């Protein structure tokens, strides 16, 4: 479990880990379209559904002759089964290894020759592939992406070589990072039934026994048109992009999306505590509380509380000099070198509110834990003031404007909303809902959701570093 990013402003999309099993896309005529309400000063994204069930989302932005093109597949680490953890991630790597038309690495070389850049990512909830290119090369990139989505293939020895790269990535990013290892331990303690208990990178034992057929079967099962969306943002005309998509992506044969079974996390009944010992300079403590999530924009108590918790996280740690910074890291009696808060607003799996901190010299993780909990208890007891609320809300509105500077950010946000099953204007709706959160609501959630029955505490206990240890070199082929 990676620590939640700060869920402030419209950047909340960065932490969107989708809510509940999304409804399967249905094959509908290619004339099916929807669009978001217009917003002053911004182009309107438009959504089409191709005849094979694939979704197309287009957002024009004519300020520069560039385009962000993304392919999203609604499948991630949470869709794996025990024994094959990490298969979604290794499959993402294998999509760069060729088709009947392209050899290994040829996709990337062609995009580079266009003057573009490309990469991919795997999360718990989705897998994404993207290119940023001159707008006059969009058709070429769409043909490349459609080819590997429909026709990905590679020899077994190519898989085995790439698996070694993925294993080295895990060593570099997880096993050599004490905090990353701590969060894996926390995930295993926090979640019993939810697939969020498994790491995106996969357990090393599963990677050691991963077979080429595991990745091929995962590809055949989940990489189907009705489980995918193409997002294009930039210097384009929506109707022209639609015609391209119908010709290039729309001819991929339709197949049903496999049924997803809900895996309900059982109620917790008491605090859980875990420790991880590793060579590190400082100790570290993380508190994870199970909290409700936002599943849509219809009014309701769980959604209202999820929004209020997001505001609470921003009041605690949404700007320089926020409450945790002032209370824990400043003054002669400070207990922490750093302290933070974040709220998982929505996701396909259960969400957490996280508090964390690094003890100051001479202080212990237990002292930091007590100080973090005391700040939440203070909000529950005394509430927050209007100046604090207005400050975080103003920052959210400003971030809505700043995000328009990047066509890639616009495309990624729209893709994330699609994975969530949310409307195209989810960002605007979210900001309006957050602006309406009151001080009383923030005080209420601080009092309701921070008891021991929702809590898992993880502590990193530092061990001396090996003076002879040499830094690990990033593996050749590291993609992201």
Tokens of 215: 């990745």
Residue 120 · residue 153 · CB < 8 Å: no
* Alpha-carbon span 252 to 230, nearest angstrom: 13
Q: Phi first, then psi: what are they for 353, rounded to 5°?
A: -105, 125
- What three-state secondary structure class fits 103? coil
Q: Give the side-chain half-sphere CA count within 13 A for 30.
A: 17
> Is 139 one of the catalytic residues?
no
Residue 69 · residue 145 · CB < 8 Å: yes
Catalytic residue among 92, 118, 145, 169: 92
Give me the DSSP letters along 358-377: EEPTT--HHHHHHHHHHHHH
| CB-based burial, 239-277: b 16+ in 10 Å, e otherwise | eebbebbbebbbebeebebeeeeeeebeebeeeeebebe
* Alpha-carbon span 137 to 164, nearest angstrom: 34
User: Pick from 197, 305, 127, 37: which is nearest to 45 by CA?
Assistant: 37
Strand order in the sheet with 32-35: 32-35, 46-49, 55-60, 228-234, 66-73, 127-134, 117-122
Write the CB contacts of 389 (distance below 8 Å, at least 6 apart in sequence): 311, 315, 437, 438, 439, 442
What kind and span of H or E run contains 107? helix 106-113
* Alpha-carbon span 252 to 264, nearest angstrom: 34
Residue 65 · residue 136 · CB < 8 Å: yes
Burial bucket for residue 232 (CB in 10 Å: 0-12, 13-18, 19+): buried
- For 160-313, strand residue ranges (E) read 228-234, 272-279, 284-291
Scanning 115-193, the segments in alpha helix (DSSP H) are 138-151, 156-170, 178-190
Tokens of 437: 């959160």
- Which residues form the catalytic set? 92
């Amino acid at each position: 479990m990676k620590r939640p990013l700060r869920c402030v402003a419209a950047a909340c999309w960065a932490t969107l880990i989708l809510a509940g099993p999304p409804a399967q896309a249905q094959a509908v005529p290619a004339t099916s379209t929807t669009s978001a309400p217009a917003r002053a000063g911004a182009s309107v994204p438009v959504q089409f559904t191709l005849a094979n069930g694939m979704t197309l989302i287009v957002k024009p932005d004519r300020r520069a002759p560039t385009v962000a093109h993304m392919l999203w597949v609604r499948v991630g680490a949470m869709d794996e089964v025990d024994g094959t953890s990490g298969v979604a991630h290794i499959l993402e790597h294998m999509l760069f290894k060729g088709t009947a038309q392209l050899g290994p690495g040829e996709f990337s070389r062609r995009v580079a020759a266009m003057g573009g850049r490309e990469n991919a990512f795997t999360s718990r909830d989705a897998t994404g592939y993207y290119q940023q290119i001159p707008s006059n090369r969009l058709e070429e990139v769409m043909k490349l992406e459609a080819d590997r989505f429909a026709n990905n293939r590679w020899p077994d020895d190519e898989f085995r070589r790439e698996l070694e790269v993925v294993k080295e990535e895990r060593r570099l990013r997880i096993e050599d990072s004490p905090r990353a290892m701590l969060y894996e331990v926390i995930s295993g303690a926090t979640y019993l039934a939810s697939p969020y208990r498994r790491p995106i990178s996969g357990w090393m034992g599963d990677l050691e026994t991963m077979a080429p057929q595991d990745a091929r079967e995962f590809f055949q099962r989940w990489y189907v048109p009705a489980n995918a969306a193409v997002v294009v943002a930039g210097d384009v005309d929506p109707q022209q992009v639609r015609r391209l998509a119908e010709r290039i992506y729309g001819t991929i044969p339709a197949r049903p999306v496999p049924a997803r079974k809900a895996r309900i996390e059982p109620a917790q009944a008491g605090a859980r505590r875990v420790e991880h010992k590793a060579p590190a300079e400082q100790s570290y403590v993380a508190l994870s509380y199970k909290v409700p999530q936002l599943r849509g924009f219809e009014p309701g108590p769980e959604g209202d509380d999820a929004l209020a918790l997001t505001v609470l996280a921003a009041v605690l740690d949404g700007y320089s000099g926020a409450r945790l910074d002032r209370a824990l890291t400043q003054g002669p009696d400070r207990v922490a070198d750093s302290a933070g808060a974040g709220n998982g607003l929505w996701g396909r799996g259960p969400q957490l509110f996280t508090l964390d901190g690094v003890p100051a010299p001479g202080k212990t993780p237990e002292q930091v834990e007590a100080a973090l909990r005391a700040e939440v208890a203070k909000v529950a007891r005394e509430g927050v003031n209007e100046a604090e609320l207005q400050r975080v809300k103003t920052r959210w509105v400003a971030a809505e404007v700043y995000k328009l500077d990047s066509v890639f950010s616009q495309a990624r946000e729209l893709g994330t909303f699609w994975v969530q099953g949310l409307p195209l204007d989810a960002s605007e709706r979210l900001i309006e809902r957050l602006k309406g959160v009151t001080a009383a609501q923030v005080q209420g959630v601080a009092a309701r959701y921070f008891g021991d029955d929702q809590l898992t505490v993880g502590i990193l206990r530092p061990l001396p570093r090996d003076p002879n240890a040499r830094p690990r070199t990033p593996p050749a082929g590291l993609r992201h």
